[in-house]
């Protein structure tokens, strides 16, 4: 079962729980619209704390499920998801607006047109940072509410209501789209966020070292001229591993399996428990595989 209380939201249970009627799962988008402002005369936003106190106190009779602050992402929840709340007008007879679905989750966004926050004026809710919207959307969706607007996503304050759509289709509705109500909000609402699954890391193939090649280098390079490298690229991988083990000084990490590298590999073999002719500095497959597993290369024949 999904979470009755949205994870991360402040839980302020006002009680008065009651079941819904069943049917298409719905979410209702509101804005608090607690002040009237204009482009010419913007007004400071009412604080989240003030509205939270109102809905959990004297305004409990019209409280939504959630109060969402789109400016900082805070959410307060007043009733569990499977209870009706009372933010919609419910006229006698007809649809029971607050109960007309398996859930009817109501969200009040802390917003009014031309509110001023930190000196900036916002004409529409969708202009705000909409912080926390994806988390809110995902939680509502977990209750079976599809990410769709059966009557279209609100983009202005023009009401549009169809009781037949309301009765038959699950999804998100603006307050302006609910039968028996005359409000025009929310005016706008952010588009749904599509979660992009993280791409799995691209596997990186490990470099490989041929046992035959490094054995050949271990036999040939010590007797050749100083710095001679029979299989430089592969020997370098072995030498870097020996350096990491603290057995070979950096100046000898040159791709030549010379006497210094031979002595370092012999020391590695002794560290691994080999003795006598088994610790002669000529790599064997078991020791080389062990070294490669630790230092990021594979061993082929």
Domains and CATH numbers, the chain: 10-177 (3.40.80), 208-300 (no CATH)
Contact 66, 105 (CB under 8 A): yes
Q: Could you tell me the two tokens for 61?
A: 């009779």
19/77 Cα distance (integer angstroms): 17
CA angle, residues 71, 77, 78, in degrees to nearest 5: 135
Residue that is written with structure tokens 């749904």 in the block: 192
Q: What pLDDT is attached to residue 233?
A: 95
CB atoms within 10 A of CB 270: 12
pLDDT in tens, the chain (301 residues): 799 999 999 999 999 999 999 999 999 999 999 999 999 999 999 999 999 999 999 999 999 999 999 999 999 999 999 999 999 999 998 899 999 999 999 999 999 999 999 999 999 999 999 999 999 999 999 999 999 999 999 999 999 999 999 999 999 999 999 999 999 999 999 999 986 556 676 667 899 999 999 999 999 999 998 888 999 999 999 999 999 999 999 999 999 999 999 999 999 999 999 999 999 999 999 999 999 999 999 999 9
> Is the Cα torsion angle 64, 171, 82, 164 positive or negative in sign?
positive
- Strand-pairing partners, residue 208, are 298
Q: What pLDDT is attached to residue 197?
A: 59
Q: What pLDDT is attached to residue 194?
A: 85
Q: What pLDDT is attached to residue 227?
A: 84
Say whether the peptide bond before residue 186 is cis (omega within 30 degrees of 0). yes
| SS3 assignment, position 227 | coil
Q: What pLDDT is attached to residue 16?
A: 96
Using CB atoms within 10 Å of the CB of residue 275, give its burial: 0 to 12 exposed, 13 to 18 middle, 19+ buried: exposed
Q: Which of 226-232's residues contact partners 24+ apart within 8 Å by CB, and which partners?
A: 226/258, 227/254, 227/256, 227/258, 228/256, 228/258, 229/254, 229/255, 229/256, 229/257, 230/257, 231/257, 232/256
Using CB atoms within 10 Å of the CB of residue 179, give its burial: 0 to 12 exposed, 13 to 18 middle, 19+ buried: buried
Q: What is the maximum span of the chain, computed from C-alpha positions, in angstroms?
A: 103
249/264 Cα distance (integer angstroms): 9
């Amino acid at each position: 079962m999904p979470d009755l209380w949205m994870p991360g939201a402040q839980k302020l249970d006002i009680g008065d729980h009651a079941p819904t009627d069943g049917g298409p799962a719905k979410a209702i988008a509101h804005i608090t619209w607690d002040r009237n402002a204009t482009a010419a005369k913007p007004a400071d936003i009412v604080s989240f704390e003030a509205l939270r106190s109102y809905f959990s106190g004297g305004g409990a009779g019209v409280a939504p499920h959630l109060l969402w602050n789109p400016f900082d992402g805070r959410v307060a929840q007043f009733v569990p998801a499977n209870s009706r709340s009372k933010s919609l007008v419910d006229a006698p007879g007809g649809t029971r607006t607050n109960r007309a679905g398996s859930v009817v989750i109501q969200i009040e966004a802390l917003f009014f047109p031309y509110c001023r926050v930190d000196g900036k004026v916002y004409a529409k809710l969708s202009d705000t940072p909409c912080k926390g919207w994806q988390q809110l959307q995902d939680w509502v969706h977990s209750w079976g509410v599809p990410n769709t607007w059966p009557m279209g996503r609100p983009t202005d304050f023009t009401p549009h209501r169809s009781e037949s759509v309301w009765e038959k289709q699950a999804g998100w509705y603006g307050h302006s789209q609910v039968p028996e109500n005359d409000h025009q909000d929310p005016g706008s609402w952010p588009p749904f966020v599509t979660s992009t699954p993280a791409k799995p890391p691209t596997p990186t193939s490990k470099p490989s070292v041929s046992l035959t090649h490094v054995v050949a280098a271990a036999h040939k390079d010590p007797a050749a001229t100083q710095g001679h490298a029979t299989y430089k690229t592969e020997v370098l991988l072995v030498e870097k591993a020996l350096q990491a083990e603290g057995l070979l000084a950096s100046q000898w990490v040159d791709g030549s399996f010379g006497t210094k590298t031979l002595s370092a590999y012999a020391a590695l073999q002794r560290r691994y428990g080999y003795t006598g002719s088994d610790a002669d500095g000529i790599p064997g497959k078991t020791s080389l595989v062990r070294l490669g597993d630790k230092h990021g290369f594979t061993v082929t024949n």
